[in-house]
Amino acid sequence: MSKNYFGTDGVRGTVGSDPMTADFAMRLASAAAQVLVPQGGTVVIGKDTRLSGYMFESALEAGFVAAGADVLLLGPLPTPGIARLTQEFDADLGVVISASHNAFFDNGIKFFDRSGSKLTDETELKIEKQLENPAITLDSRKLGKAKRIDTARTRYQDFCAASMPQGIDLEGMKIVFDGANGAGYKVGPRALANLGAEVIPIGCSPNGKNINSGCGSTEPELLRATVPAVKADVGVALDGDGDRVLMVDEAGNLIDGDQLLYVLAMARKDKGTLNGPVVGTVMSNLGLEHALRARDIDFRRAAVGDRYVLEMLRSAGGTIGGETSGHMLVLDKTTTGDGLISALQVLAIMKETGKRLSELVAGMPRYPQTMLNVRTDRPLNPDTSTSIQDAVAAAEGELADRGRVVLRASGTEPVIRVMVEGEDREQVVSLAKRLATVVAEAAA
């Protein structure tokens, strides 16, 4: 049974269009309450800095309270902070109002269970089934109540600081922090400063409409220019809801999620604390795989999406994984992707080793990748198309063991993503164009 509303990361869309309306948010809260807290319970709600967050916060609060649940309102807080406080307050459910790295005119709603983990597909399907029924309003004596929590930011801030290795602080480090004008705009600079760093904040002046605009991990050009200009040691960029992180070295070079995963894995290997395999995705750079295997580190690839990385880590007994986009998982520190905590682990390695970030990533080659999006007017499964599979086999034959081909359908738009990766950039570009042509012909 397929889902109509929940995607890979909750419900998301353009504000004012179905399903991102106040009415739907209230019905979604009612349905979630009836499925997950039918006898009443506690729900925490947090959000990022989008203007529409006020509207959705009020609608969700109404739906949960009407269904008999008590609500704790956290205000603007990174998604991983909401996951953490769901546990800390012993709540039954955590709710995040955010569209992550999207522009301000989008928004979304996603849930965490009481352990701070994302809901299973089965649970999301149950909520969607309940949405077929009207929202409920209980008798006045059974209604829930709402309370705003003023200590949410400092609680999460303290949790992040506690993830640092014992005895390690950031004294003597000059850090440019880019908060994407999003949920981490306060907690990020303050957490770093409390650990002793000199912090230069950018992207930390949200106005409700400038989230992810010209700043943050999706648009890091300002950070890349600022770090060398102010002679900082490093730059840190979150996305709008704070679950992703990219970094910039002292020369302004962008360090992506694959490289950060390499730094974490190498440090743990050297300390003898690396447990289980390191997990990336089918899109992770081949250079990461080769560099890890050169050190006898087991590397595995999950499907694209942090939930699939998490599933593989848990099933294989691993603790670190992530995506090229910077969605990192450090499961011995927290339960979900956390940009700030992931950045702190890298900063701690810099401090412990005395090495610059450029030195720490130097051992990982980054092979050229070309990604082309081929729009399709009808459903197309590249795995079942003979012409596409023949073309893929031919391309893989040319690359031999020096490259990869990945074709996958987008989960958010009607396109087939064609990715070719290898040592020779000209060959990679040529093969990607050739495959894109074959896919376009098959989709016609």
> What are the tens digits of pLDDT across the range 225-263?
999 999 999 999 999 999 999 999 999 999 999 999 999
For the cut 90, the answer to whether the pLDDT of residue 136 exceeds it is yes
Q: Which pLDDT score is estimated for 1?
A: 65
187: amino acid identity, one letter: V
What pLDDT sits at residue 323?
Answer: 96
**Reported pTM:** 0.92
Mean pLDDT for 4-25 is 94
Active-site residue, 100 included: yes
Q: Are 401 and 393 in contact (CB under 8 A)?
A: no
Of how many residues is the chain composed?
444
Task: Enumerate residues 6+ apart whose C-beta is below 8 A from 444.
Answer: none
CA distances in angstroms from 355 to 65, 157, 269, listed in the order given: 52, 26, 17
Residues above pLDDT 90, as percent of the chain: 91
Percent of all residues in the chain with a pLDDT value above 70, rounded to a whole number? 99
Taking the CB of residue 120, how many other CB atoms lie within 10 A of it? 12
What CATH number labels 369-443?
3.30.310.50
Neighbouring C-beta atoms of residue 269, cutoff 10 Å: 15
Cα angle: 174, vertex 188, 353; to 5 degrees: 45
Q: Give the closest residue to 188 by CA, choosing from 218, 214, 153.
A: 153
- What is 11-150's CATH topology? Alpha-D-Glucose-1,6-Bisphosphate; Chain A, domain 3 (3.40.120)
The one catalytic residue in 30, 98, 100, 217 is: 100
| Contact present, 275 and 318 (Cβ < 8 Å) | yes
CATH class in words for 255-360: alpha beta
Is the separation of the CB atoms in 334 and 84 below 8 Å? yes
Q: Three-class SS of residue 246?
A: strand
Going from N- to C-terminal start, the domains of the chain cover 11-150, 156-252, 255-360, 369-443
Kindly tell me if the per-residue pLDDT of 412 is higher than 80.
no
Q: Give me 15's structure tokens.
A: 């504000």
pLDDT in tens, 69-122: 999 999 999 999 999 999 999 999 999 999 999 999 999 999 999 999 889 999
Rg over alpha carbons for the chain, rounded to the nearest Å, is 22
Tokens of 386: 């003979």
Band the pLDDT of 307: cuts 50, 70, 90.
confident
Looking at the predicted structure, is the pLDDT value of residue 64 above 70? yes
Right CATH for 156-252 from 3.40.120.10, 3.30.465.10, 3.30.950.10, 3.40.1410.10:
3.40.120.10
Q: What does pLDDT average to over the chain?
A: 95
46 CB burial (10 A radius; 0-12, 13-18, 19+): buried
- Residue 229 · residue 238 · CB < 8 Å: no
